[in-house]
Amino acid sequence: MLAYIFPGQGSQFVGMGKSLYDSYDFVRKIFDAADRALGFALTELIFEGPADELQKTVNAQPAILTASIAMYELIKRAGIRPAAVAGHSLGEYSALVAAEAVDFNDAVRLVRMRGQFMQEAVPLGRGGMMAVLGLAPDEVEEGCRQAAQAGTVEAANFNCPGQVVVAGEIRALKKAQEIFKSMGARRCILLQVSAPFHSSMMTPAGERLVAELARVQIKDPAIPVVANIIADYVATAGEVRDALIRQVSGPVRWEQSIRRLMSDGYDMFVEVGPGQVLTGLLKKIDKYSRFINFNGEGEPEQVIARLKEAV
């Protein structure tokens, strides 16, 4: 069975989706709709930059969502539909649009606000994130417990075997780094992000998101959606809404989400959106997995032809 997976923040780059925009009228309409929904020229920022402005959370989130849905629509119009979907953090909104649970225009506005709330939840310079390589999840969680005397530090992303991202206060991250290295971590890499995403420090952002979600119509997903926060399916509008609120301050259980799909017979994965981060993680989760990366680069017709052969 076929599952689509959608990337999250960090996959953005200046020019993403430009070749599709130039080639397909319906893609132009998607980008134009995003501009209208937000009330500013997001498309211009995506295609022309500057990169440091595109990288800001408040801009990167709607930009990645828009590019991802444009790429999804291209495959959809070729007659290929997924049997299930999932998305990494921000990518969960793309997955919900694909599952017809959230309208695209609403999703663009929501992730713009989500990005703003997440950025404003913690003063700049107080928090951050760090990738820990070479330790098991329970070891990382134990290291976080030991480092908690220095401040908040928590497991934020369970990405794949041997890669867990932690988030928290800068001083606690530094203490955790010492502990992880003493536990045998291969590397600890401080990430170039502006806030401790998916940690309890984001709770104020989740609380602010409640009001925004209340203004939006959410439907029961038309196809199965695996949510990050529970690594399980959300089947009703209420479950979708709850998962979106909780995922802001809770961990992304990506490895568990992929394994849940695999255990249910999903054996072909298509990463739909800019970059190929999730494809890389998928290979580490299961080296025998079948996958295709559709990021709008190169010749999309060739990728679609490959996909039709595979399914």
> Quick one: which of 79, 114, 97 has its CA closest to 6?
97
- CA 218 – CA 248 distance, rounded (Å): 18
pLDDT tens-place string over residues 183-226: 999 999 999 888 999 999 999 999 999 999 999 999 999 999 99
What is residue 277's predicted lDDT score, i.e. its pLDDT?
A: 94
Tokens 């679609």 belong to which residue? 304
pLDDT tens-place string over residues 233-250: 999 999 999 999 999 999
**In contact, 266 and 84? CB cutoff 8 Å:** yes
pLDDT tens-place string over residues 68-122: 999 999 999 999 999 999 999 999 999 999 999 999 999 999 999 999 999 999 9
Tokens 């298509």 belong to which residue? 270
**In contact, 253 and 95? CB cutoff 8 Å:** no
Cβ atoms within 10 Å, residue 262? 16
Band the pLDDT of 140: cuts 50, 70, 90.
very high
Residue 2 DSSP SS3: strand
What is residue 124's predicted lDDT score, i.e. its pLDDT?
A: 85
Residue 310 pLDDT exceeds 90: no
198 is catalytic: yes
**Mean pLDDT score, 139-148:** 98
**Mean pLDDT score, 4-20:** 95
88 is catalytic: no
What is residue 303's predicted lDDT score, i.e. its pLDDT?
A: 82
* Alpha-carbon distance values, 136 to 154, 159, 164, 165, 181 (Å): 14, 11, 8, 12, 13
What is residue 300's predicted lDDT score, i.e. its pLDDT?
A: 82
pLDDT tens-place string over residues 262-276: 999 999 999 999 999
What is residue 306's predicted lDDT score, i.e. its pLDDT?
A: 84
What is residue 153's predicted lDDT score, i.e. its pLDDT?
A: 98
Q: Which of 11, 68, 89, 94 is catalytic?
A: 89
**In contact, 281 and 254? CB cutoff 8 Å:** yes
Q: 84-87 and 2-6 as β-strands: parallel, antiparallel, unpaired?
A: parallel
What is residue 311's predicted lDDT score, i.e. its pLDDT?
A: 73
Element (H, E) at 37: helix 25-38
- CA 284 – CA 289 distance, rounded (Å): 9
Q: Which of 68, 88, 94, 198 is catalytic?
A: 198
**In contact, 58 and 115? CB cutoff 8 Å:** yes
What is residue 302's predicted lDDT score, i.e. its pLDDT?
A: 85
The rounded mean pLDDT for the chain is 95
